């Protein structure tokens, strides 16, 4: 557990862990939280998800009011979400925004397709290169929206897939180098800005 107050809980999700049960596996983050609260009469619900291959924090609401409030903030794009990742190659632009449309791949399960001919202002991926070494670039990424595989698909579409991404890149690492490390939103209790950040793994 990373942080807890009367309204929210923030926990860390490692790679190779599902956020919620899929009918087959029970070693999920939500089941771990349920075990944490097993002797307490506490309502809780996760407010977002991370891919199985992605590490980082998950924000959990501890009551119906906080769940409704933060979910509304999320829908109205009042939540700032930042990720760190390592990508293949040297970027021509050190800072840019990708806003290509994304849809599900009809031929490959659990994969998205980027539509470069169509711009979608609801799913923007903003990136900034902070370091490049040995043909690998380290990025800070902020997203608007939250389409499935948005960061992974967008970066791959500009020929800079995330290192270790088995779906959109080359499986050349023991893990996918993508982590959700920073979040900002108005706290449901006092409506003041709440900022939380974890130490980046890479």
Hey, what are 92's tokens? 């021509």
pLDDT in tens, 53-96: 999 999 999 999 999 999 999 999 999 999 999 999 999 999 99
Question: What pLDDT is recorded for position 202?
Answer: 87
What is the per-residue pLDDT across 104-124, written as a single tens digit (0 to 9) for each? 998 888 899 999 999 999 999
Given a contact cutoff of 8 angstroms between Cβ atoms, the answer to whether 143 and 81 are in contact is yes
Q: What is the pLDDT of residue 93?
A: 96
Do β-strands 80-88 and 45-46 pair in parallel, antiparallel, or remain unpaired?
unpaired
pTM of the model: 0.94
How far apart, in whole angstroms, are the C-alpha atoms of residue 4 and residue 201? 22
Q: How many whole angstroms separate alpha carbon 117 and alpha carbon 188?
A: 40
Q: From CA 89, how far away is CA 71, in angstroms rounded?
A: 36
**CB-neighbour burial class of residue 118 (10 A; exposed 0-12, middle 13-18, buried 19+):** exposed
Distance CA 144, CA 146 (A): 6
pLDDT above 90: percentage of residues in the chain: 86
Residue 198 DSSP code: -
CA atoms within a 13 Å half-sphere pointing along the CA-CB vector of 138: 10
Averaged pLDDT score across all residues of the chain: 94
pLDDT, tens digit (0-9, with 9 covering 90-100), for 158-189: 999 999 999 999 777 889 999 999 999 999 99
Q: How far apart are CA 79 and CA 200, in angstroms?
A: 20
């Amino acid at each position: 557990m990373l942080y807890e107050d009367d309204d929210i809980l923030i926990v860390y999700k490692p790679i190779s862990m599902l956020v919620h049960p899929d009918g087959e596996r029970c070693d999920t983050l939500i089941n771990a939280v349920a075990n944490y609260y097993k002797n307490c009469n506490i309502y809780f619900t996760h407010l977002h998800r991370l891919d199985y291959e992605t590490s980082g924090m998950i924000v959990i609401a501890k009551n119906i009011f906080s769940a409704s409030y933060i979910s509304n903030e999320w829908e109205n794009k009042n939540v700032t979400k930042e990720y760190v990742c390592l990508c293949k190659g040297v970027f021509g632009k050190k800072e840019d925004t990708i806003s290509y449309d994304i849809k599900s791949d009809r031929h490959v399960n659990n994969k998205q397709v980027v539509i470069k001919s169509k711009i979608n202002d609801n799913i923007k991926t903003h990136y900034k290169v902070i370091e490049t070494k040995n043909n690998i670039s380290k990025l800070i990424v902020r997203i608007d929206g939250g389409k499935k595989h948005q960061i992974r698909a967008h970066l791959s579409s500009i020929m800079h897939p995330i290192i270790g991404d088995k779906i959109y890149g080359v499986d050349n690492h023991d893990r996918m180098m993508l982590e959700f490390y920073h979040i900002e939103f108005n706290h449901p209790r006092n409506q003041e800005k709440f900022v939380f950040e974890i130490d980046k793994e890479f």
